Amino acid sequence: MNMDTPVGPIPASVFTAKASRGYAFAVMHCSYPPEANVSDPKQYFAKMLKGLSGGAGGVRLVSSAEVSLHGIPGRELVYEKSGGWLVTSRVYLMGSNCYHAFAIMPKGRECMQHAREFVESFDLKQQ
C-alpha cells in the first residue's frame, strides 16, 4: 500500500485483523524518505493533529494525548470517521519510522476497553 504524504507517496506495510460485528484492528509501518524531514516529533504530531482537527476527509477529532513507548514519542488519538466509525489509535515516531496501531469500531457499538487493550498491547523490540 502507498500512503499519500506531502513528499509524495511512500510505501506502508499494513497488517489487519477483522473481528466480528464490524470491528477491525490494524498495525501500520512506514519509513519516510530523508526529504520528508520528520526529525522533530512534536512538529510531526502537531501537523497530524492540525489535519484531523480540520475535519479533513470526514474526520472529527474526539481526543488526543501525548504517550511514549520506551522513550519513543507518540500520540494517542480518538476520532470519528465518516460512515459511522470510531477510531482509537496510537502513533509512534522513531527517527524516520512511523508505527501506527488502530482499533476501528462502529460508532454506537464501540468497546473502548477492547480498543484501549489493543493499542496498549503494541510494542517495539529494543535493539
User: Which CATH number covers residue 69?
Assistant: 3.40.1000.10
The alpha-helical segments, DSSP class H, found in 1-127 are: 41-53, 112-121
68 in any annotated domain: yes
Please indicate, yes or no, if residue 30 is contained in any of the structural domains. yes
> Which triple of cell numbers denotes residue 45?
504530531
pLDDT tens digits in sequence order for the chain, 127 residues long: 887 776 778 899 999 998 777 899 999 999 998 888 888 899 989 888 887 777 667 888 999 999 999 999 999 999 999 888 999 999 999 999 999 999 999 998 888 999 999 999 999 876 5
Per-residue model confidence (pLDDT) at position 56: 65
**To which H or E segment does residue 25 belong?**
strand 24-31
* Inside any domain, residue 7: no
Note the pLDDT of residue 55: 65
Q: Quick check: 79 and 87 in contact, CB under 8 A? A: yes
- Asked, for residue 2, whether it belongs to a domain, the answer is no
* 54 is a domain residue: yes
Is residue 1 in some structural domain?
no
Residue 91: give the domain boundaries: 13-121
Domain assignment present for residue 98? The answer is yes
- Confidence at residue 19, expressed as pLDDT on a 0 to 100 scale: 75
> pLDDT at position 74, please?
96
Instruction: Identify the CA nearest to 75 among candidates 17, 7, 9, 122.
Output: 122
Q: Is 79 left (phi over 0), alpha (psi -120 to 50) or beta?
A: beta
Contact 12, 32 (CB under 8 A): no
Report the domain count for the chain: 1
pLDDT for 94 equals: 92
Buried b (16+ CB within 10 A) or exposed e, 91-116: bbbeeeebbbbbbbbeeeebeeeebe
For residue 6, tell me if it sits in a domain: no
